[in-house]
Amino acid sequence: MRQRLLHRILPVVVSGLVAISVAPALAEEAPKGIGITSSDLVSVAESQRAIVNLRGDQVLVPGDVPSKDRFILQRLISVDDRLIVFLYSDPRFQTQVDYVETYNVNGELLEIAWYDPTSGPKTVRDVNLGIRDAKRPARILKTPVTSVAEMIGGQTR
């Protein structure tokens, strides 16, 4: 059982790391002339919350990302002296890994992956990953593009 859940989470993390280095993301641009209403801003604010990266900077994440406080740190891994990966488990379940945070060596949060018992593996990733002209992470994590239709439509990054 423990290995099965680990195999569900790690492919999400590995696919994210591959996407960091090879897959260019399409920049999301709002159509010109379309205004944002105050109700739109309230909707966005309700669906996101801020967490703190290793540098002490705030990072916006979707509201469905679980709080790290409910997990126990199991292992810290350095990947090619470029990435730092924290592996956590949920004490309510008998699994090795339920929640993963990936940082660059500067302490910027790049990705969070977790296993949701009701809907399976989930991932959020910094919106600047894969954008060639980006100077640094945006400190805004969103669900990555999952289909060609989303990439073409520019609905998600």
Q: Per the structure, how many domains does the chain have?
A: 1
Q: Which domain holds residue 104?
A: 2-24+43-153
Residue range 74-93, pLDDT digits in tens: 999 999 999 999 999 999 98
Neighbours of 2 (CB within 10 A): 12
Q: Taking residues 20-25, what's their average pLDDT?
A: 29
* pTM of the shown model: 0.67
Query: Looking at the domain assignment, is residue 34 inside a domain?
Result: no
Query: Looking at the domain assignment, is residue 30 inside a domain?
Result: no
Query: Looking at the domain assignment, is residue 55 inside a domain?
Result: yes
Residue range 92-137, pLDDT digits in tens: 988 889 999 999 999 999 999 999 989 999 999 999 998 999 999 9
Cα–Cα distance for residue pair 155/101, rounded to 1 Å: 25
Query: Looking at the domain assignment, is residue 33 inside a domain?
Result: no
Strand partners, 76: 86
Query: Looking at the domain assignment, is residue 114 inside a domain?
Result: yes
Cα–Cα distance for residue pair 155/23, rounded to 1 Å: 17
